[in-house]
Amino acid sequence: CNPEAVNGAHINSTQPYLVRVELQYKGEALPTGTPVMAQLFKHTDDNILTTKSNRVSMREGTYNTTAVQEPLLNSFGNPTGDVVSKSFVDIEIPAPSLPEVVDVYVSLDYLGFFLDAIHTVNFIGSLFIQLEAEQPLANGIDVAEQFATAWTVDPDDPDNPNSTVPVPDGTLVKWELVRLRYGKDRPFYSVEAINELISGVYSTTARGVARNVFFGPVANVENHSDVVCNKICCIGEEYAIKASIILGEETAVDAVYAVFPCIEEEELFLSRKFFMNAAMGQPGQKPNYVTWADGVNLLKFQIAQNPALILDSEIPGASCFRDCVNDNFNSQLFSFPDDHIVQIT
């Protein structure tokens, strides 16, 4: 897993981030020693160049240009045989110990011309997490396990895959199922015993991988009409599966979008893959069965573990169910494994 390339550097790097400012006037270098002003600000979307960073610092003030002659390169980076004259200023920014995004603001007042520019630098952490999210089939039976891989990189050699190190075994990963449009309170849980008094869904890493978190089962996904891009669309349920990790002072987060689409009428039938009916001898008849409201008598219903093998004498209507599924929808009958848990509502 390679970290995302950014315009910046990693925190805690021993090498400073270098900003080079190149200048020309009428295609030629400026006189050596021409003053250039440089300032550092925290990056903001609004009211830019107004807030100072409390994590990143550099030498602010006047920098003096140096004139050089360099080979002129073409669009492919190859020398053309010509020489170009230009001036430059190098500004070093030491890497901070915490992530931060900053703006380097440079300005020049030369022969009555005023020029300025902004260069944004993103200092990112060395901790990463990548989520491998799976969503269950919306059939009321399927469950999907979630996986996340977490690792750190060498801040001085982040692109070297041999320098990546899995996070220590036992590092906590927090999981969340974020409900988006038409999302419901669906089962999302961990089967791992966490020996800490914390609330939420957690699992721990082993060799850099966190697992033992499950999503599902999901059933009865309803169709909703919504306007998307000025068009009426059918939407089922939308979620974001999120995994986050904290290691020392660093935090890493990853999220994956999960959607259950609208279910067509035929798919709606196919999502009910198991067979349930009243047991033999129950009073009344399908779909209305009766019993005495005396707190003693019960109605008995049965769920077929394997509807392909069940007899009508065991659960009424078994053969009709098989014929309906196989003949009309060319589907496959679903059988439960031993000790499978069925949610009754």
pLDDT in tens, 76-107: 889 888 899 999 999 999 999 999 999 999 99
Strands 127-132 and 66-73: unpaired
302 within 8 A of 276, measured Cβ to Cβ: yes
The CATH number assigned to the domain with range 127-268 reads 2.60.40.10
List, for residues 189-217, the tens digit of each pLDDT value. Answer: 999 988 778 889 999 999 999 999 999 99
**What is the end-to-end Cα distance of the chain in Å, rounded?**
43
Topology classification of domain 8-124: Immunoglobulin-like (2.60.40)
Tens of pLDDT, residue by residue over 15-36, are: 999 999 999 999 899 999 999 9
Percent of residues in the chain assigned helix, strand, coil, to nearest 5: 5, 45, 50
Q: pLDDT tens digits, residue range 147-197?
A: 999 999 999 999 899 999 999 999 999 999 999 999 999 999 999 988 778
Mean of per-residue pLDDT scores for the chain: 88
Alpha helices per DSSP H over the chain: 265-270, 318-323, 329
pLDDT, one tens digit per residue, over 265-286 is 545 444 456 778 777 777 777 6
Residues forming CATH 2.60.40.10 domain(s) in the chain? 8-124, 127-268
